[in-house]
Amino acid sequence: MRAILYYNENKVDQNEARLILASGFAGEAEKLDRQQKLKRFSHLLRLKPNVKTNAVHITLNFHSSEKLGDDKLQQISMEYMERIGFGEQPFLVYRHFDAAHTHMHIVSTNITSQGQRIDLHNIGAEKSEVARRAIEKEFELVRAESKEELLAPKIKKAELKKVKHGHLPTKRAISNVLTAVNRDYKFTSLAEYNAVLGCFNVIAIRGEPDSAMFERKGLMYSVIGGKGQPVGVPIKASTFYIKPTLRNLENRFAQHNEKRKAYKPDLKERIDKLFTSYRSVTRKRFIKDAEKQGIAVLFRQNESGQVFGVTYVDHKQKCVFNGSDLGKDYSAKAMMERLASQTKPAGILQPILRAAKRIGPIENNLSSSPSTTQPRLLEDLLAPTLQDTSGGKPKRKKKKKKQQQVSI
């Protein structure tokens, strides 16, 4: 279990959440309305109006393997608040469903009914950590081993699937993808980041270049619908638990650039190996075959259909490369040339000629009966090219000459 305390007046977002406990409030939690909640807190705040920090927001987080019921969460929250000195304070406990792991938010105030202020200085280290360890032992919870484990809750590989709009709460579905992608994949730009997210029907939106959101480096996330366009209401990056904001992402771009270098040779080798297996291939088939090898090949094209870029998402090594970064031979121009060279008609004829050589000399006898035992593969395939081209007039039947052996 992990506990994080925020000392501000931010309101808990009640979307995709449920109030499971209202301690110190008159009436049952499910029957309290917004005004009743605010009135209870406002009464205490007026007793000490000169205090700037008068609200406390706490989150209690549990390991992704723990499936805890509401009754257990109620017991844990009450025990925790008692141990940090807030047992007598009114507080609300919300269970949230916007992440892959179980967690709850607790809202309270540090102004007592006597008009005194509860000191919050160093409460995290002196009281919260002590309470956390005791509760983990008492309720037999998974111990919080590190900060990284909290920020990147574990998601099983099988759980990372394409988001389908309406199948899960939007924020929860997007959060599952963001957590796994930010934890596992190495990317060096927002475009590469979006290339990975797009594989799971999620997109990061910066807004128009002249917009206020763009200038302030804002970022929002949305689900991609069946037509490839964002659907539903976009969600701010700062509201997600792992805080996948643009500034946080930019701090990781340079680090990822170094980490992904070791995986270039393997990806290039797997791409080259696909081409060696082809005699003829279309772009559609190449993309499909690459996908079987764990590589998403994303060609970018303009409105007229002209390809101007390509990005490779290596799901096996969890790396993303723009074509030119992978190498000149893997740029969009080079790849289109390689694909074009695999679709020339001459490329189809060569295997036939090679097969003919293996067959050896055959008898040039076009009038032989179908029951002949001579090999007829080459004769059948090339017969159209042996017809007369002189205006379609039939040739006069010549006298049968002595048969000759023709080698090809």
Say if CB 60 and CB 104 are below 8 A apart.
yes
Question: Is residue 258 over pLDDT 50?
Answer: yes
Higher pLDDT, 93 or 144: 93
Domain closes at, from 259, 282, 302: 259
End-to-end alpha carbon distance in the chain: 78
Which of 193, 181, 150, 187 is closest to 63 using CA atoms?
A: 150
Averaged pLDDT, 166-173: 79
Residue 314's Cβ-count burial label (10 Å; 0-12, 13-18, 19+) is: buried
Q: Which of 149-158, 190-199, 258-267, 303-312 has the lowest mean pLDDT?
A: 149-158
Averaged pLDDT, 202-210: 90
Could you tell me if 36 and 144 lie in one domain? Answer: yes
Q: How many domains would you assign to the chain?
A: 3
Question: Is residue 8 over pLDDT 90?
Answer: no
Could you tell me if 144 and 216 lie in one domain? Answer: no
**Residues above pLDDT 90, as percent of the chain:** 45
**CATH number for the domain including 53?**
3.30.930
| Per-residue pLDDT, 364 | 40
Could you tell me if 319 and 228 lie in one domain? Answer: no
Question: Is residue 199 over pLDDT 90?
Answer: yes
Averaged pLDDT, 108-133: 91
pLDDT in tens, 56-115: 999 898 987 888 999 999 999 999 999 999 999 999 999 988 777 888 999 999 999 999
Which of 83, 214, 99 is closest to 139 using CA atoms?
A: 83
Indicate the SS3 state at residue 294.
coil
| Per-residue pLDDT, 195 | 95
Could you tell me if 69 and 162 lie in one domain? Answer: no
Question: Is residue 13 over pLDDT 60?
Answer: no
Residue 26 banded pLDDT, cuts 50, 70, 90:
confident
Mean pLDDT score of the chain: 79
Most confident of 28-32, 162-166, 215-219: 215-219
Q: Give the span between the Cα atoms of 288 and 74, in whole angstroms.
A: 50
Q: Which of 164-173, 242-251, 366-375 has the lowest mean pLDDT?
A: 366-375
Q: Give the span between the Cα atoms of 102 and 95, in whole angstroms.
A: 8
Assigned domain for 376 exists = no
| Per-residue pLDDT, 370 | 42
Domain closes at, from 240, 259, 278: 259
Q: Give the span between the Cα atoms of 349 and 335, in whole angstroms.
A: 23
| Per-residue pLDDT, 372 | 41
Could you tell me if 266 and 234 lie in one domain? Answer: no
pTM, entire model: 0.52
* Structural tokens at position 55: 């609200």
Residue 254 banded pLDDT, cuts 50, 70, 90:
confident
Where do we find the tokens 């979307």? 15
Domain closes at, from 121, 151, 181: 151
Say if CB 314 and CB 330 are below 8 A apart.
no
Higher pLDDT, 289 or 14: 289
DSSP count for the chain of H helices, then E strands: 15, 13
Assigned domain for 395 exists = no
Could you tell me if 285 and 215 lie in one domain? Answer: no
Question: Is residue 31 over pLDDT 90?
Answer: no
Which of 308, 268, 270 is closest to 290 using CA atoms?
A: 270
| Per-residue pLDDT, 181 | 94
Q: What residues are paired with 406 via a beta bridge?
A: 362
Higher pLDDT, 352 or 206: 206
pLDDT in tens, 399-408: 555 555 444 3
pLDDT in tens, 344-401: 444 444 444 454 444 444 344 333 334 444 444 444 443 444 344 444 455 555 555 5
Say if CB 76 and CB 135 are below 8 A apart.
yes
Could you tell me if 235 and 327 lie in one domain? Answer: no
Q: How many Cβ atoms are within 10 Å of 342's Cβ, its own excluded?
A: 17
Helix 129-138 to helix 70-83 angle (10° resolution) is 140
Domain residues for the domain of 301 are 261-341
Could you tell me if 17 and 126 lie in one domain? Answer: yes
Could you tell me if 76 and 185 lie in one domain? Answer: no
